[in-house]
Structure 1
Amino acid sequence: MNWAKINVEKQLIKARNKKITEEGLLHQVKKILEQDEKKENEILKKIEENDGQSISNDFNFELLESDKIYHIEQIKNICITYRLRFLNSHYFKAELPYEAIQQIKQLQKKHQITLSGLKIIAPSKSFRLENADDPLLFAPIGNDYYYLIHKWGNDLHPLRKLYAWPFKSLENLILLIIALSIGITALLPDDLFSKNQTTAEFIMIAFFMVKWIGGMAIFYGFKKGKNFNSAIWNSKYYNA
C-alpha cells in the first residue's frame, strides 16, 4: 500500500490560509456586531430624542402589510374607549423590548429609510408625563395614517373598558352618578326619615345623593387632576 507523501510547504501554506480565513471571519463578525450595536444605539437615541415633528416616513407601500395600517381616528377611538394615551416615543419611560428594536431595524433595511416620529399607545403610567400594560409602537405614514411596528407586554384587563367608561365623556359620568344615587337611595331603609316614604321623598333623597356623589366626583377630579378620555388621549400633560 502506497501512502501519499506530505508536502510540508503545501501544509504550511494551507495552515497560513486557514489562519487568515479564521481571523478574517472573526474580524468580519466583530465588524457586523459593532455595526449592529451602532444601529441599535442610533434607534434608541432617535426614540429618546423624538420631538414628534416628523409627520411621515417614506415607506415603500408595496412592501407594507395592510392589516398594520391604522387611521388616527381609529387610534383615537381605541384610546378614548380604554383610557390610553397616544404619545411620542420620547415620553415612554420603560425600555423598548429587543423585539421592537429588531422590528425597527428590519423595517428600515426593508424600506431603505430611517424611521422617525415614532409614537406609542399605552396607559398613562407608562409615560413620563409633564405636570399640567399593553404598548403598541407606530410610525407615521402620512395623511393621518400610522403603521404598527410592534406590540409587546400583556393584554389589557377585560374589565378595563368598563372601568374607563365613566371617564369617556361628561355624559357617561353624569349617567353613572345618577345610577349610583338611585341605587344607594333604594338601599336605604324606607322608614329612615318617615314611617311611610312617598315617591316625592324618594326623589328628594335621590337628588341629594346626586349632589353628594357629584360633589365627591368633582373634588376627586380636581384634586387628582383627572380629565375625560377624549381630552387626554394625545396629551403629554399629567393633569390635562
Structure 2
Amino acid sequence: MRLSTNIERELNKRRAKDAPEGSILDQIQGILAANEDQRQDIHTRLRSRATSDANAFDLDQLETDRIYHIDTIKSICVDYRLRFLNAALFKSEFPEEAISKIRELEDTHDTALNGFKLMAPSKLFKLENADDPLLFAPIGNGYYYLIHKWGNDLSGVRKLLVWPVKNFDNMIFSIFVASILLTAISPMGVFTNKEVGMPEYVMLFLFMFKAVAAVVLYYGFAAGKNFNTAIWNSKYYNA
C-alpha cells in the first residue's frame, strides 16, 4: 500500500504549533507598517531641499560601475543639455521602483541616504525664475552613486540638436554655417540683373550673418535661454 503525505496539511500543523494565527497576522501587519513608514520617510527625504555632500556608504558594498565623478556628470549634461539638480525640484512622483532601490541600498549600507540629485531635461524640473531621469546620491569628494534610472532613453539626435547652444563658440560657428547655406541658396537674380561675382556673395553673406545673429540673440534674450555650460546645475529657467 502506497502512503502519501499532504504537504499543505503538514505545513498548517507546523504553523499552528509555531504561532497562533492571530499572532502571525499581527507580525505581518507590523512588518508591512514598518515597510510603509520607511518608504514614506524616503519620499520625505527625496522632497527635502536640504543639501548633503556625502553619505555613509559601505565602500565594499558599492558597485564601481555605478560611481560617477561630478566632472563626468557635467560633461554629459553639457553635451545633451540636461540639468543636475536637487531631487526636490522634480515635477513628477518618483516611481516605486526607485523607492525600493533606495530602501535596498539603505538596508545594505545600514544608513539613511540624503542629498539626492537628479539628472534630467529641464522640462522635468520645477525651475525657479531668475524623457529620462537618473537618480544619484552623493558619496563624497565629488563622486555620486547612480541609484536608479527610469523613463525612456534620450533621442539619438538630441546631442546634435543642442550642440549649437553648448557654448558661445559653437553658437558662432553654427551661425556662420547657417549664413553660408542661406547665401548659397539665395536667388541672386532677385537682387541684381548684373553678373554676380564674389563681392556680391560676400556682401550677401555678411547680411545673412547679421540677420541670423540678430534672430538668435533676440530669441535667446526673449526666452531667457543660456548655454549648456551655464545651466547644467542651475535651478533657474532663465539663468
Q: How does 1:196-215 map to 2 (within 5 A)?
A: 196-215=195-214
**Counterparts in 2 of 1:2-151, with a 5 A limit?**
21-52=20-51, 54-151=52-149
> Contact 1:51/1:90 (CA < 8 Å) preserved in 2?
no
Cα-to-partner distance string for 1:124-147 (whole Å, 9 max, x where unaligned): 000010010110000000000000
How far apart are the structure 2 equivalents of 1:197 and 1:118?
62
Q: What letter matches 2:69 in structure 1?
A: H
Q: If you compute each CA radius of gyration, which structure gives the higher value, 1 or 2?
A: 1
Are 1:87 and 1:235, in contact at CA under 8 Å, matched by a contact in 2? yes
3-state SS of the aligned residue for 1:49? coil
Q: CA separation of 1:206/1:235 partners in 2, compared to 1, >3 Å: closer, same or farther? A: same
Deviations 1:157-195 (A, max 9, x none): 111001110110011111111111110111111322222
Give the distance between the partners of 2:17 and 2:152, measured in 1 at CA.
50
1:21 CA displacement: 1.9
CA distance in 2: counterparts of 1:80 and 1:233, whole angstroms: 6
Cα distance in 2, alignment partners of residues 123 and 160 from structure 1: 11
Distance 1:163 1:220 in 2: 16
Cα drift, residue 97 of structure 1: 0.6
Other-structure match for 2:8: none
Aligned AA (2:137):
A
Aligned length: 226
Q: For the Cα contact (< 8 Å) 1:50–1:118, is it kept in 2?
A: no
Asked if the contact 1:50/1:116 (under 8 Å) is kept, the reply is no
Partner secondary structure for residue 180 of structure 1: helix
Partner Cα distance (1:39, 1:197) in 2: 76
Mapped partners of 1:206, 1:160: distance in 2: 29
**Cα RMSD (Å) of the superposition?**
1.7
Deviates more, 1:60-69 or 1:23-32: 23-32
Consecutive unaligned residues in structure 2, runs of 5 or more: 1-12
Question: Which of 86-95 and 194-203 deviates more?
Answer: 194-203
Write the distance in 2 (CA, Å) between the matches of 1:20 and 1:118.
42
Q: CA deviation at 1:24?
A: 1.1
Measure the CA separation in 1 of the matches of 2:197 and 2:20: 98
**8 Å Cα contact 1:59-1:141 kept in structure 2:** yes
Q: Which residue of 1 aligns with 2:219?
A: 220
Identity of aligned residues (%): 51
2-side partners of 1:66 and 1:107: how far apart?
14
Alignment TM-score, normalising by the size of structure 2: 0.91
Per the alignment, residue 235 of structure 1 pairs with: 234
Q: Quote the offset at 1:198 in angstroms.
A: 1.1
Take 1:140 and 1:178, find their aligned partners in 2: how far apart are those partners? 41
* Unmatched tracts of structure 1, length 5 or more: 1-13
Q: 2:191 aligns with which of 180, 190, 193?
A: 193
Partner Cα distance (2:177, 2:162) in 1? 16
Contact preservation (8 Å) 1:121, 1:137 = yes
Of 176-185 and 68-77, more deviation after overlay is shown by 176-185
Residue number in structure 1 paired with 2:153 = 155
Mapped to 1, the partners of 2:237 and 2:105 lie a distance apart of 32
> Mean alpha-carbon deviation: is it higher for 187-196 or for 138-147?
187-196
